[in-house]
Amino acid sequence: MSNQLYIKEIQVLFDAVQKSKIFEDQKMMTDAVPLFPIAEINATYEQEKNAAGFDLKNFVMTYFDFLGAKVSIRREDHLPIGQHIEKLWDELTRTAYEEKGTLLKLPKPYIVPGGRFNEFFYWDSYFIMLGLQVSGRVEMMENIVENCSYLIQNVGFVPNASRTHFLSRSQPPYFSLMLDLLAETKNDETVYTQYYDTLEKEYAFWMDGEEEAKIGTGLKRVVKTKDGYVLNRYYDTENEPRPESYLIDIEDQENALGEEFYRNIRSACESGWDFSSRWFADGEHIQTIETLNLAQVDLNCLLWHLETTLAKSSALQHLKDKENYFTERAASRRHMINKYFWDEKTKIYKDYHIQKNTKTTSEHIAALYPLFLGIADQKQAKAVAETIFEKFLYPGGLVTTTKKTGQQWDLPNAWAPYQWLGFKAMKNYGFDDEAELIKNNWCSNVERVYKNTGKLMEKYNALDTETIAGGGEYPNQDGFGWTNGVYLKLQQN
């Protein structure tokens, strides 16, 4: 797989395009496909850019193809929501058997989220798979797993999304959970052994730097606490503006603190939560972002699941030493999750601040992960459930944080993944009534918006069920992969 970051090759032109705002959405230019050799485009641009009457937009439209920049879904007939989703699976299916512009090639067809997101996304794909399971589309579930495996084998990890400029970061590691879902669907445990090398390789990616990390600091995605324990954090290898949000990042950086503003921004993108007060030192402003200073509860729970899955897969192959190794690692991490993330005072799981050796103040819905994966004990689960119901559940679903900042991963927005996590978390500990409430509040919101607009949205407003959700760097998108998946899965339960 070529690691050519072709955006770097057109950097002068790219910089001019992004700073001139000729497109409303900065993602347009990152997704464009050059129609001529890069050297030729660059030479012509240098030659023409200072000429009288030079039109930058016209130049770009001549030398690049913008087909497929947006998935638009137009439907004359207003179908029942379930039938609409079934049709959407086909409309959101893509193939990329060769590289085009920034798009990475993948061996199998896949489903894109929709709207401006016209490529394969890592953690979205797990929630899409939940719906594919309900729809009986097992082959597409297998395709998603196969594409993830291909990326891990060829890149070393699953990038944030299947584009060259995402080769510096991943997303929440859901591959082991995808295998659970596939094994359950096919009633076949051999998937764990089939993808054993892939699981090991993804684990090695997240644990890279473990040997070299110093006490009380982070190195790559690994953190060593003051007590010498190993935890993980989100991280991005680059410290420069994101191509897909180029101008926004440059403008935000002007008043930012610290030398690693861009890396902190990008590392928050690896979490999938771009952006939220969860990452801000002052809880309010993106300029104070400090993702790198935190070990995150969700990531560490997912890595516990990966360790547990590796132990299980080792056992299936009678690899006794490896089974013992991963079983011990999982047991140690479970202990650390309760030691570093459980907050006895506020009765919720929080992130851990590496430098300050304390839990962060942000209360957020990622506290559900220890319940979703069965790591919490019954007493902790009850406490978390009570806190969630008191502070996070609204008429339109579960919100992500208790703060309203205008960031899209803050109040008042309800996102599909956390409705499923919340439902499952409650079910795991016998809180069936609470699970039903989460399900009904969010599903009725989805149905109402669909009835009014004919669309399934990326996110929903949980407080004001009269309006559509907003906030963030781009307008609310329709399509929408993970909403479709979670809605179908909740309806089935």
Provide the 3-class DSSP secondary structure of residue 26: coil
Q: How far apart are CA 439 and CA 430, in angstroms?
A: 15
Angstrom CA distances, 363 to 370, 403, 427, stand at 15, 9, 22
Residue tagged active-site, from 236, 274, 298, 363: 274
Q: How far apart are CA 298 and CA 312, in angstroms?
A: 21
Q: How far apart are CA 370 and CA 339, in angstroms?
A: 12
Annotated catalytic, 434?
no
Closest to 126 in 3D by CA, of 173, 88, 186, 74 = 173
Name the phi and psi angles at 396, rounded to 5: -105, 15
Closest to 178 in 3D by CA, of 235, 222, 132, 109 = 132
Residue tagged active-site, from 307, 351, 458, 478: 458
Q: How far apart are CA 152 and CA 204, in angstroms?
A: 10
Helix axes 175-186, 196-207, angle to 10 degrees: 160
Query: Degrees (nearest 5) of the Cα angle 480, 486, 492?
Result: 135
Helix axes 175-186, 297-316, angle to 10 degrees: 50
Residues with Cβ within 8 Å of 319's Cβ and at least 6 positions away in sequence, in order, are: none
Closest to 166 in 3D by CA, of 295, 27, 37 = 27
Neighbours of 376 (CB within 10 A): 27
Q: How far apart are CA 230 and CA 326, in angstroms?
A: 14
Kindly state the helix (H) or strand (E) to which residue 224 belongs, with its residue range: strand 222-224
Nearest 10 degrees: Cα torsion 149, 303, 89, 29: -80
Residue located via tokens 């496909």:
33
Annotated catalytic, 189?
no
Question: Where are the strands (E) in 227-386, listed by range?
Answer: 230-232, 294-295, 342-343, 348-349, 352-353, 358-359
Residues labelled catalytic = 274, 458
